Amino acid sequence: MKVIYPGSFDPLTKGHMDIIKRLSSMFDEVIVAILNNENKCSLFTVDERKDIIKEEIRDEKLSNTYIYSFDGLLVKFAQDHDVKLIARGLRGVTDYEYEKDIARVNSTLYEGLETIFLLSNPTYSFVSSSGVREIAAFKGDVSAFVSPSVEKKIKEKFNY
Ligand code: PNS
């Protein structure tokens, strides 16, 4: 069985990676789908995000995990890949309130599409990409939130 794990991943955090590893052990194939939402607030380009995730997947030896990017609607991407299962991580009730509506919209647009939720590891329940971007912009220490290789790329970007 295949599952799609969509997101912006700008940048990939330890929380995302924990979910990817868990999905990789639960499903035959995991498709990490990066939303191509480049704008002036993006930290990394989609290609850079792809490379970062590829490197982590290789280091973790997740041989059943593949990286794609997509534009437009997630349901279109799911249809194109013939996958009817989406996975999202939930850090708390705020995520749930937001995610449940998106899941219902998606299943309305694509009949039979299911969204499953994995509770985030409590260690990472306060970690967000937007938080990492803000800390990075002020040249702060992001090591608790991202892997050493992502930290290195952030430091290169912000010259610190
Ligand atoms: O990591 P994020 O930014 O929380 O991921 C959000 C994402 C990419 C899963 C979501 O914004 C998405 O699926 N966007 C694609 C556009 C879409 O399908 N919208 C319809 C649902 S309202």
- pLDDT digits 0-9 by tens, 53-73: 999 999 999 999 999 999 999
Domain boundaries of the chain, sorted by first residue: 2-125
* Distance between CA atoms of residues 97 and 79, nearest Å: 25
Are the beta carbons of 22 and 118 closer than 8 angstroms?
A: yes
Domain 2-125: CATH superfamily, name plus number: HUPs (3.40.50.620)
Distance 74 CA to ligand 1 centre (A): 7
Q: Above pLDDT 70, what percent of the chain?
A: 99
- pLDDT digits 0-9 by tens, 101-145: 999 999 999 999 999 999 999 999 999 999 999 999 999 999 999
* Distance between CA atoms of residues 150 and 153, nearest Å: 5
Report the residue among 3, 17, 35 best suited for mutation to probe ligand 1: largest number of ligand atoms under 8 A from its CB. Answer: 35
Residue 86 vs residues 2, 31, 45, 130, 151: alpha-carbon distances, Å:
9, 9, 23, 22, 28
pTM of the entire predicted model: 0.97
